[in-house]
Structure 1
Amino acid sequence: MRIRMQWAAAIIAAFAFGANAQTAVTGKDVTATGWFNGVATSKTGTFHAGGVAACDGCHVMHNASNGVARSTKVNPWNDAVPAFLLQGADQSSTCLICHGDTTAGGSTRPYVIVNTGPATDFANMNYSPGGDFGWLLRGGNASDVQNRHGHNIVAADFVIPADTLLTAPGGTLSFDATGQKVFSCSSCHDPHGRTRMQTDATGTTWNWAGPTAPGSDNTAITAPIYSSGSYGNLPAAGQAIGAYRLLGGKGYAPASNPASPFTYNPPVAVAPTDYNKAETGAGLDRSKEVRVAYGNGMAEWCRNCHTNIHMDNYLSGALGGTGLKHPAGNNASLKPGQFNVYNTYVSSGVFTGTGDQYTSLVPFESAKIISVTGNSGAVSDLGKLANPAANNIFTATDKSNVTCLSCHRAHASGFSSMVRWNNDDTFITNANALVDTQARGATALQAAYYGRTATDFGAFQRSLCNKCHGKD
């Protein structure tokens, strides 16, 4: 007997990061949609809903029909039974069954890779905040594919091989090129979603709760997850919400690589439901920016793998510290000369902004979202998540932190080293067009900039390091 995946239901319910309903929220300068949650919509579904999903969405009971594996590719470590009885050839292939785009890109669905057309297809790239994994295969031109465009997941069914760099930069965690211990989606995301934010019986305080693997000091799991932790839900008394984007928390150790459990919990964060969309015209209309509100702790979470990538104990104006890395983390708050520049910077040489000049190309994390002591906090602080625009967390302040995602995309980008903008050329634009010395063409560049054109930047725009530093 074989458990068959119900494909129609899976497509409708494939939103891996929880259920929510769109509600209009009037912010400082725009009306944003999709911040709150409560009821599922046709866009979001309820497949994961903040925690473990229907088992047969990812696993089979006896694997194969007539001895033929479900996967479309030969399994790299066993031709008969994929490891962990997965629906796909490997961990990432299984995730991409639902999260791989097989139609036109830029969809509101939760796709993280475009899998249509030839390697020259840029028009159909997805625009999720993490970036389209298709950049691993479509670097921009034939010589650019292996230019470290992203986290190089291995997905045999989607013809994504291992990269030659198998050790996390700035760390010691390593992965195998083939087999069960490859780098995969589940290296960062917990497919079973056990990490949660739960309250006590009174519902006034919350605690991180999660796996009891070595390295975890979270509270023991005592409450069920009722919904996603990605869209501003609050845990009700005696209940829990899942971690943002099902990110693994303290003690998380995937079955494919159990020797290195995580030592940091994920951040608190809020994403709009319509996050996967082009941001064309955002330079003139700020409401077209996709604003993900990252709470503090994002950079610390990245240290689960990139252990030594930060400059610890960074002091403004000092050259000390080990590694001379750009500061990032809870102690890397913007100084007045930086957040004032951020709030007024429009483009190179133009500092006429009126205070809310947020751009998704240079996001920051905000300690205003929540004040955390150890592994717990007050639910009243979490309430700021329900309306991030009204709490003015999109204007940079001394409570705004530089985070890894200020410069990099979490999945992949159209530029080397996963940077959100072209950091290899002096100019992003000339007088009237996007420029790139790799001669990738306007279609590829617009996809890399999420549909932005030259007018979204300004004439002779230089590196977006200047969004904080204003040296241009």
Structure 2
Amino acid sequence: MIPAALSGNHVLKPTRSNKVTWTGLFLLYFCLVATVCHAKVEGSCSNCHTMHNSQDGAAMAQGGTGTTLLMDDCVGCHSSATAETIVNGTPIVFNTTVAPANPLAGGNFYWVGRGGAENDVYGHNVWGISEEDANITAAEGAPGNIFGAGCTTSCHKSLVIENVFGKRGCQGCHTEVAHHDDSKPWFRFLKGHINSGAYVLGIEAPDWEQDGGSDPSLRNVYKGVDGPITWGGGTGITAGHSISAFCLGCHAGFHKDMGVTSPWLRHPNNILLPSTGEYGAYDPVDNYSNEAPVAYLNIDAPSRDEAVITCLSCHRAHGSDQPDMLRWDYANMPEGTGCYTCHSTKK
């Protein structure tokens, strides 16, 4: 039985019938109020788990979506039929019926969740939220995917594949799903599936940036590296633990042959944000813009000289109201916004 505090605001949007048997995924963040700075939950175990899958004389539920005796799966706990993005202390990443009032740092699945090819461009397609991307063939997999051979049922190709045990849907990225303690260093439960050292470092905003990061104490601090990302050592995720190295797991083609100096083949990533010229006007430490967040070489002591451009400097992780999950309207950028946050002399 789902507690009354949750049942009115957490709506599980079915995209498959009862064959949907999600692996418990991970409650993504919390099923009850969490401590403001960490990922662990506080309170009774029964707030998230049920002992025998039956309560108050009700019949045993059959074919449900919860495993490990969870009350709900991650999509169910982190969805809302309202426009609110924090409900009973739980961060909401999927507003099912109306657009979110104040999307959190990762954005929101509302737009891609509307379905259809015209909406697939607005976010990651995730099991339990949307169908396969109608604009990309199953053989192509994720944009920038270079791991297609011998990986036909991999989460590296799609997060909507049905039979990838433990790796589909939200758990394709957020692999560590239990919120019992803070013993692991991983930022937002982001970690690879094989190597124990393939995790992301960072500092989480206590309100998940619901206020847009205007308050310095309410910002995510992302880990960055300065140098081309390689698959393994050096600046790879096992050594650098950066957010962009994690994105490389599915979108490695976007990092390949990028170069290290101008002229750039693609927009540079994992380089220091220059402090001179047109870039000198943007100081993300003292004059932060939620439209162009950066990472830092040292997350414990962020400094302007160590600000790093990352994938999240332009994109939302889950989805947004803009194509390609961009943080701004690429066709309509007033002075000082969007691209012009960093490229301050261009208009």
Q: What TM-score do the two structures reach when normalised by structure 1?
A: 0.51
Unaligned 5+ residue runs, structure 1? 23-35, 72-81, 194-224, 229-239, 253-260, 345-354, 370-383, 385-390, 429-459
% same residue? 24
Pick closer, same or farther for the CA change 1:54–1:342 going to 2, 3 Å: farther
* Amino acid paired to 1:361: E
SS of residue in 1 equivalent to 2:342? helix
Q: What does residue 207 of structure 2 align with?
A: 274
Pick closer, same or farther for the CA change 1:242–1:335 going to 2, 3 Å: closer
Mapped pair 1:100 → 2:79: yes
Pick closer, same or farther for the CA change 1:293–1:270 going to 2, 3 Å: same
Q: How does 1:25-174 map to 2 (within 5 A)?
A: 36=37, 45-46=41-42, 57=49, 68-71=62-65, 94-107=73-86, 109-116=90-97, 121-122=98-99, 124-138=100-114, 144-146=118-120, 148-155=121-128, 160-164=130-134, 165=136, 166=138, 167-171=141-145, 172=147, 173-174=156-157
Runs of 4+ more than 6 Å apart: 9-12, 53-56, 58-62, 84-88
**CA displacement at 1:111 relative to structure 2:** 0.9
Pick closer, same or farther for the CA change 1:6–1:407 going to 2, 3 Å: same
* Amino acid paired to 1:46: E
Q: What does residue 243 of structure 1 align with?
A: 186
Q: How does 1:304-323 map to 2 (within 5 A)?
A: 304-311=249-256, 314-319=259-264
**CA displacement at 1:363 relative to structure 2:** 0.5
Q: Provide Cα deviations, 1:124-149, integer angstroms capped at 9, x if missing partner.
A: 4451100111121359xx98423x11
Pick closer, same or farther for the CA change 1:106–1:178 going to 2, 3 Å: closer
Pick closer, same or farther for the CA change 1:313–1:137 going to 2, 3 Å: closer
SS of residue in 1 equivalent to 2:184? strand
Mapped pair 1:185 → 2:170: yes
**CA displacement at 1:316 relative to structure 2:** 2.8
Q: Which residue, 298, 303, 307 being the options, matches 1:368?
A: 298
Mapped pair 1:7 → 2:3: yes
**CA displacement at 1:308 relative to structure 2:** 2.1
* Amino acid paired to 1:365: A
* Amino acid paired to 1:132: N
C-alpha separation between the residues in 2 aligned to 1:268 and 1:176? 23
Pick closer, same or farther for the CA change 1:365–1:60 going to 2, 3 Å: farther
**CA displacement at 1:9 relative to structure 2:** 8.4
C-alpha separation between the residues in 2 aligned to 1:243 and 1:86? 24
Q: What does residue 357 of structure 1 align with?
A: 287
What is the count of residue pairs matched by the alignment?
A: 289
Unaligned 5+ residue runs, structure 2? 11-26, 148-155, 225-241
**CA displacement at 1:176 relative to structure 2:** 7.9
Q: Provide Cα deviations, 1:220-273, integer angstroms capped at 9, x if missing partner.
A: xxxxx9733xxxxxxxxxxx3341111124xx1xxxxxxxx4697233211221
**CA displacement at 1:68 relative to structure 2:** 4.2
Q: What does residue 232 of structure 1 align with?
A: none
Q: What does residue 272 of structure 2 align with?
A: 333
* Amino acid paired to 1:270: I
Q: Provide Cα deviations, 1:272-311, integer angstroms capped at 9, x if missing partner.
A: 21225354xx8xxx43895211112111111111122115
Q: Provide Cα deviations, 1:304-326, integer angstroms capped at 9, x if missing partner.
A: 1112211557333244xxxx222
C-alpha separation between the residues in 2 aligned to 1:407 and 1:268? 19
Partners of 2:191 and 2:200 within 8 A in 1? no
**CA displacement at 1:163 relative to structure 2:** 1.6
SS of residue in 1 equivalent to 2:188? helix
Q: Which residue, 311, 315, 331 being the options, matches 1:404?
A: 311
Q: Provide Cα deviations, 1:166-207, integer angstroms capped at 9, x if missing partner.
A: 4111113323865223851010001445xxxxxxxxxxxxxx
C-alpha separation between the residues in 1 aligned to 2:320 and 2:186? 24
Q: What does residue 233 of structure 2 align with?
A: none
Q: Which residue, 143, 151, 158 being the options, matches 1:175?
A: 158
C-alpha separation between the residues in 2 aligned to 1:461 and 1:96? 38
Partners of 1:269 and 1:292 within 8 A in 2? yes
SS of residue in 2 equivalent to 1:305? helix
SS of residue in 1 equivalent to 2:252? coil
**CA displacement at 1:368 relative to structure 2:** 2.1
C-alpha separation between the residues in 1 aligned to 2:250 and 2:180? 29
Partners of 1:243 and 1:266 within 8 A in 2? yes
C-alpha separation between the residues in 1 aligned to 2:80 and 2:119? 20
